A and B are shown apart, each in its own frame.
Chain A
């Protein structure tokens, strides 16, 4: 069943078309990542999905119901967290949770607040004012807040930005765990490509307000055939560089380390040629193309088009 179904959604600010006729869906228990360069329309899309930005055109349906017509009922079942929104800074975490819990129809508020405080390890921060929290702690509190109403759909804008790696991993595991336990459907935006690859089932790639790709992270990464070959060259560094230049392979040199960007089908030929010219190396690693490579390729293409 489609939990969210978006059809022909557009948002125009005067002459600027921020989102251009996009359609997509989110299935039950699915995690979708919305990616794209700055200004691609990610936040605009999320805002429209939350009902805090009026679309110029198009329709959003949650659970088969029109969002505009059933706003109150739908917002009971969804929640949102962003690194870029604040909570009232003069109030403590406890006071914020108390108030927010009343915004939703939660049966046992105190029990639920206790649960999320434990789940997000917020015991030490519970009686602190929001103003005294670090950026990472605030992100964690914001994220905990978004789970307060047992959401069926979560919209997360940069959920792990400014978290230290350990907590960020905890949050990623938590998101996956919530999906596993409660079949929560999630849409998230992130600039952390490895995070998107780890967490998301599907990626929607936006560029200039349009969906330019809608696929699994693996398939998107595979759509570019660029791999990276890392070599520690013991003899023949100059010969290797000459060879790269001659064949138009992009490379990066660092001491005796050489990183060469090369299409997957040419790796065999590349290594064979190095052997023929007598280059020796004692370390080699081959990295397959990643989502980050896909992202960089799109950004590069955009820059080229603009210039």
Chain B
């Protein structure tokens, strides 16, 4: 791996980010709207049901943690789609850039862009609803890492599917992550889900993170066991999704990147 190539790729995606209104609105506009809508709804519920003061904390923490997961997935799938839309994938791979360098770049970019949009959303949440993300302490870093790992896995899976079937199924880049939202119990405990859905829910690594977040808010205790299961599942899914993506890329090379221009 060569740092200068990773830097070149990063530079290119950061230029897109700076210049594209779509990408900027993804990073700042939608998180703001989500925070406003969910925050106002939570405040209203708190008024009509004042005996559940943690409600707004649960919603706000779910929202911010979800933002991390979404950002990591979105970064990988959208950067691939940008190359498709620009008919530019061939320009990258006729240079010495390796597939692994491209993968590492899009993973890092998820971190970099989250470093912009997450503090912005966290600041808004504090300003509007007095929700302090630092109440999780250093555990928040563990949450971030685990959610990023899941986001990358889904991003690789979606990208692999797009490489195989082309842009006619590009909508997966926006919709696939949505499937996880009800299943991973972002805003409610897993126990409220039907029993058979709970089984699926516990196969998904973010479930343990959202549960751990809620446990911290309610009891001030970290559920370490759940987080270890989340890490193991994440590692497994990450390996499988990377394998699938590489296979899809090789399949694409069998057909030729020329078919993309």
Contact = CB atoms under 8 A, between A and B. Distances in A.
Interface stretch (A91-99, A255-263, A271-279): A91-99
B250 interface: yes
A80 interface: yes
Contacts of B261: 82, 84-86
B96 A98 contact: no
Interface in B1-54: 2, 4-5, 7-9, 11-12, 15-16, 19-20
B20 A90 contact: yes
Specify the main secondary structure of chain B where it touches its partner: helix
Contacts of A76: 96
B88 A86 contact: yes
A89 B86 contact: yes
Interface core residue of B8, B95, B253 (most chain A CB under 10 Å): B95
Interface core residue of B92, B94, B250, B254 (most chain A CB under 10 Å): B94
B90 interface: yes
Nearest to B5: A103
A85 B88 contact: yes
Contacts of B19: 90-91
B98 interface: yes
B137 to A, nearest CB: 38
A139 B114 CA distance: 37
B88 A52 contact: no
A98 B11 contact: yes
A79 interface: yes
Interface residues of B, number: 33
Contact of A99 (B15, B86, B258): B15
B25 to A, nearest CB: 15
Given A86-B261, A100-B8, A50 B15 contact: no
A107 B8 CA distance: 14
A52 B12 contact: no
Given A47-B257, A84-B261, A91 B94 contact: no
B245 to A, nearest CB: 17
9 contacts: A44-B256, A51-B93, A72-B96, A79-B95, A85-B87, A87-B86, A99-B12, A102-B4, A104-B96
Given A50-B90, A79-B94, A86-B86, 20 more contacts: A13-B255, A43-B258, A44-B256, A47-B256, A53-B254, A53-B258, A54-B253, A72-B98, A79-B95, A85-B87, A85-B91, A87-B91, A88-B16, A88-B88, A91-B16, A95-B12, A99-B15, A103-B5, A103-B8, A104-B95
Interface of A: 13, 43-44, 47, 50-54, 71-73, 75-76, 79-80, 82, 84-91, 95, 98-105
Interface of B: 2, 4-5, 7-9, 11-12, 15-16, 19-20, 82, 86-88, 90-98, 250, 253-258, 261
